[in-house]
Amino acid sequence: MKKFFVSFLILTLFLSGCGIKTSENNSSKLQTTQVSDILKNNSENIVMPHISQHIPQLITYNGNHVSAWVIQFLFVENGDLKESYDGDKSYIKLSYAKNNTIKTVDLISYALKYDLFNGIDYITASASGKYIVLEFSSDVPISIIVDTDTNKSSILWYDESKKESMMKISFNPSDDDEFAFLPSAEIKGPNGSHYLKLYEIKTHKINTVGEISDKNISMQNSMIQWGKNTINVISLDKSKIFNFTY
């Protein structure tokens, strides 16, 4: 239970400093109380010794007009995700605060269907906070997009027939409906090349920005950054940087 209370303390500090605007005197207190109640209710049946200790139980994001957090407790046995253990259930819940309202999306069904026992390890949002994207960590990562206007979620497939999703998603800073991504398959080209691509949400159109010919760089250990007229793919240790114009 110690880890739960540490997570609760972190989330309380996160919410108190995230700068959510309120229109009523008691709105901020109400939001904190709502989150506290959610955490309290979700913790009542947790049996901590059987929870996977290899995933972050609390992930937070604050930016682009939205504050979001994921709370996840997953039962794992012999490398497989279990739906429940001894009457308690695994769960992954995204909550986000936008326009003085807290909404929650249950994402456990995705993890169970594709055995994503490592859980979520990354959150980002579009320029105005319309979309939130979460990446499940896996040998072949799977990304989920949540529309904050409708509170609906779906998988961002690159090739659904091969169960290849989009990963390392980075939104265009000036356009909610466009983001750069890398296909979740490590090697795509005939010579071991990787490709940086753009996706338009409204049209579902995919365009290739450029090729990364260095087959020794791990795409899962890279990040995407937007510049004024460029998009960069950077290794996490910053030893390799690939620049593309768009």
Instruction: Express each pLDDT in 107-117 by its tens digit.
Output: 999 999 999 99
Q: Are 141 and 196 contained in the same domain? A: no
Q: Are 143 and 190 contained in the same domain? A: no
Q: Are 55 and 90 contained in the same domain? A: yes
Q: Are 80 and 136 contained in the same domain? A: yes
For position 216, what pLDDT does the model report? 72
Nearest one of 34, 33, 32, 40 to 5, comparing CA atoms: 40
Whether 10 shows a pLDDT value over 70: the answer reads no
Within-domain flag for 23: no
Q: With contact defined as beta carbons under 8 Å apart, do 188 and 194 qualify?
A: yes
Instruction: Say which range, 33-42, 78-87, 208-217, has the weakest mean pLDDT.
Output: 33-42
| Mean pLDDT value of segment 180-202 | 81
pLDDT digits (tens, 9 = 90+) for 196-209: 999 999 999 999 99
Whether 133 shows a pLDDT value over 80: the answer reads yes
Can you say how many angstroms the Cα of residue 235 is from the centroid of all Cα atoms in its chain? 19
Q: Are 96 and 150 contained in the same domain? A: yes
Q: With contact defined as beta carbons under 8 Å apart, do 158 and 171 qualify?
A: no
* Residue type present at position 83: E
Within-domain flag for 146: yes
User: Who's near 45: CB < 8 A, 6+ residues apart?
Assistant: 87, 88, 89
Assessment of whether the complete model's pTM goes beyond 0.75: yes
Q: What is the count of structural domains for the chain? A: 2
For position 4, what pLDDT does the model report? 44
Q: Are 149 and 204 contained in the same domain? A: no
The whole domain housing 215 covers 179-245
Q: With contact defined as beta carbons under 8 Å apart, do 101 and 81 qualify?
A: no
